[in-house]
Structure 1
Amino acid sequence: MKPAPFKYIAATSLEHALSLKGEYGDDAKFLAGGQSLMPTMNFRLAQPAILIDLNRIEGLGVIRPCDASGARIGALTRYRTLERDSGFAQMFPLIAEALPHIAHPQIRNRGTIGGNLSHADPASELPAIMVALGARFRIQTATQERWVESSDFFLGALTTDLQPDEMLVEVELPLSKPRTGSCFMEIARRRGDFAIAGVAAMMTLSEQDECTHVRLTFCGVGETPVDASSAADPLIGRAPTEAAICDVAASVQAMIDPGGSVHATADYQRHVAGVLTERALQTAHQRARHGK
């Protein structure tokens, strides 16, 4: 199929793009990588009157280290840029581990971080990872900007806190504390498919190998990224044993409410989420202990 007729405008600057978005509001869509937008337009699930191309804007595809506190990623940064940046992978191993699971190399060559997060597909890996990391998003209009916590950004399936005149322009990622291990895992029918269920786990240990902090988020099992970190609260202040981690997995299965799909029933998604919880927490624990 072909998209409905639309007007194409190549923005020459961020100010130009935001001015156009302020003028046209919901009638306009930003074009970054186009890996999500163009298929929905071809199926006429999205029919914007105006398409604002962001690809000529300089400075939106840059990774900026923030001293010792973390890094900022421009919204036009492509997956392939993160994959090929060894320094970034060392700073944020959770993202580096997840990137190969995202679609296929051809998609990652074009897809952008800002486009993915703004699209807010609940089966997508990055939204759940951003919530696990405690990322913040810088959002701008033509006249002002604001910061939104990743946990508050995703409101529903394909729905975010972005207003009609706003654009996500940058992601701020904080560095993890010392002795933090992370792990990303997912189960999909085929390599590159959307996950039946996926988990991002982070665990921080004290010098006595007791758990001091845990993050546990899921993709594919709800209409938004599912933050199930509270299920791991019993691990805090103790050494994470296999039995304790197994109890967390059971709590996760009771907490989540997957909707099922043509590829997996809700019960199967719940089962997979429990299995992945055990494996991911065990791996994060070992990585925290051995500094990997």
Structure 2
Amino acid sequence: MKLPPFGYHRAESLGEAVAVLAEHGPDARVLGGGQSLLPVMALRMSNPAVLIDITTAKDLQGHAFRDADGLVVSAAVTTRAVETDAETRRRHPLVAECLAQVGHPEIRNRGTVCGSLAHADPAAELPALLLALGGSVRVAGAERRRRIAAADFFAGPYLTALEEGEVVAGAELPLLARTAGWSIREITRRSGDFALVGVISILDADADGRCTDARLALFGIAGTPRRATAAENVLKGQLLDDAVLAEAAEHAFDDIDVLGDLHGSVTYRRRAGTRLVVRSLAEARARCQSEVESARA
């Protein structure tokens, strides 16, 4: 389908993008890689009068590790650039692995990390990653700049806490503890599709093998990514044996209003998701045990 007509402005800085956004108000949208926005426009699900292209904005390039914030990714950085970065793969392998599961390489070469977060698709990997890590989004507007925690940023399907005139300027992805293990698993109809159900698991344990931290973020099952808090509470303080992992998985969907559609019913998502959580937790546990052993050596 052809795109509807629109005005175009190439912003050379964050300040310029914010100024143009303030000038045109809700009729304007920010364009990063366009891998989410342009298909929506082609389907006439969005019809902005002006697109503000930030891909060449000099102060929105680059990503770096900062002690206080972890990995900080600016708004114009592509998914592929972070995924293939050697330092990211070494220091934050969960991020690299999660990014590798986003669509196909052609999409990751154009699409941006922050663009996916701003799009807020409930079946996408990156919103769930930000939630699991306890990360935040850097936001800029004409009057102020602020941080919004992941738990507060995703308000509903394709809805965020951004206010009128605000733009996502960057994302903060905190580092994991040295001994933490992780896993990302998802069920898709085809390779590169959005998840019918997905889970990101993070586990940490003490020298005796008792769980000191448990984080599970589910995606593809509700209007926003959701933390499986009931399952996390089952795990904390316990020895991470098979029985505890299975019990946690049985509670993963407690207090979550799971949604069904033509691709998967509520029953399917709960049953398949429960099995997926068991496998994900087992993988995170294995990585955690390996890191704990390495720390002892």
TM-score range, shorter chain: over 0.9
CA RMSD of aligned residues (A): 1.4
1:268 is aligned to 268
Tell me, yes or no, if the aligned pair for 2:139 and 2:166 is still in contact at 8 Å.
Answer: yes
Structure 1 letter corresponding to 2:249: A
**1:81, CA displacement in angstroms?**
0.6
* Mapping for residues 99-110 of structure 1, pairs under 5 Å: 99-110=99-110
1:52 is aligned to 52
Judged with a 3 Å threshold, the aligned counterparts in structure 2 of structure 1 residues 272 and 255 are, in CA distance, closer, same or farther, namely: farther
Distance 2:225 2:26 in 1: 24
1:138 is aligned to 138
**1:68, CA displacement in angstroms?**
6.9
Distance 1:137 1:161 in 2: 10
> Secondary structure, in 3 states, of the residue corresponding to 1:252?
coil
**1:76, CA displacement in angstroms?**
1.3
Question: How many residue pairs are counted as aligned between the two chains?
Answer: 292
**1:267, CA displacement in angstroms?**
0.7
Query: Does residue 170 of structure 2 align to residue 170 of structure 1?
Result: yes
**1:14, CA displacement in angstroms?**
1.3
Name the stretch that deviates more: 158-167 or 168-177. 168-177
Tell me, yes or no, if the aligned pair for 1:212 and 1:236 is still in contact at 8 Å.
Answer: yes
Structure 2 letter corresponding to 1:264: G
1:4 is aligned to 4
Tell me, yes or no, if the aligned pair for 1:246 and 1:278 is still in contact at 8 Å.
Answer: yes
Query: Does residue 25 of structure 2 align to residue 35 of structure 1?
Result: no
**1:232, CA displacement in angstroms?**
2.1
> Secondary structure, in 3 states, of the residue corresponding to 1:137?
strand
Judged with a 3 Å threshold, the aligned counterparts in structure 2 of structure 1 residues 111 and 69 are, in CA distance, closer, same or farther, namely: closer
Q: List per-residue Cα deviations over 1:87-127 (Å, max 9, x = no partner).
A: 11222222222222211111010000111000000010100
Distance 2:163 2:92 in 1: 29
Judged with a 3 Å threshold, the aligned counterparts in structure 2 of structure 1 residues 69 and 75 are, in CA distance, closer, same or farther, namely: closer
Q: List per-residue Cα deviations over 1:162-204 (Å, max 9, x = no partner).
A: 1120011011122212210000000101100111100000001
> Secondary structure, in 3 states, of the residue corresponding to 1:22?
helix
Tell me, yes or no, if the aligned pair for 1:122 and 1:157 is still in contact at 8 Å.
Answer: yes
1:190 is aligned to 190
Tell me, yes or no, if the aligned pair for 1:94 and 1:200 is still in contact at 8 Å.
Answer: no
Structure 2 letter corresponding to 1:290: S
**TM-score under structure 1 length normalisation:** 0.96
Tell me, yes or no, if the aligned pair for 2:72 and 2:171 is still in contact at 8 Å.
Answer: yes
**1:282, CA displacement in angstroms?**
0.9
Structure 1 letter corresponding to 2:27: D
Tell me, yes or no, if the aligned pair for 2:228 and 2:253 is still in contact at 8 Å.
Answer: no
Structure 2 letter corresponding to 1:41: M
What are structure 2's unaligned runs of at least 5 residues? Answer: none
> Secondary structure, in 3 states, of the residue corresponding to 2:177?
coil
**1:287, CA displacement in angstroms?**
0.3
Distance 1:68 1:144 in 2: 21
Query: Does residue 73 of structure 2 align to residue 77 of structure 1?
Result: no
**1:221, CA displacement in angstroms?**
0.3
> Secondary structure, in 3 states, of the residue corresponding to 1:276?
helix
Distance 2:71 2:99 in 1: 17
Distance 2:56 2:129 in 1: 28
Distance 1:57 1:193 in 2: 30
Structure 2 letter corresponding to 1:156: G
Tell me, yes or no, if the aligned pair for 1:12 and 1:57 is still in contact at 8 Å.
Answer: yes
**1:69, CA displacement in angstroms?**
5.5
Structure 1 letter corresponding to 2:118: S
Distance 1:56 1:28 in 2: 18
Tell me, yes or no, if the aligned pair for 1:76 and 1:114 is still in contact at 8 Å.
Answer: yes
Distance 1:286 1:188 in 2: 24
Tell me, yes or no, if the aligned pair for 1:61 and 1:78 is still in contact at 8 Å.
Answer: no
Q: List per-residue Cα deviations over 1:111-168 (Å, max 9, x = no partner).
A: 0011100000001010011000010111001231011101100000000001120011
Q: List per-residue Cα deviations over 1:199-235 (Å, max 9, x = no partner).
A: 0000011121110010001110000001113322122
2:242 is aligned to 242
Distance 1:134 1:5 in 2: 39
What are structure 1's unaligned runs of at least 5 residues? Answer: none
List structure 1 runs of 4+ shifted beyond 4 angstroms: none
Structure 2 letter corresponding to 1:148: I
Q: List per-residue Cα deviations over 1:262-290 (Å, max 9, x = no partner).
A: 21111111111101110111111110110
* Mapping for residues 145-224 of structure 1, pairs under 5 Å: 145-224=145-224
Between the aligned residues of both structures, percent identity stands at 38
**1:256, CA displacement in angstroms?**
3.0
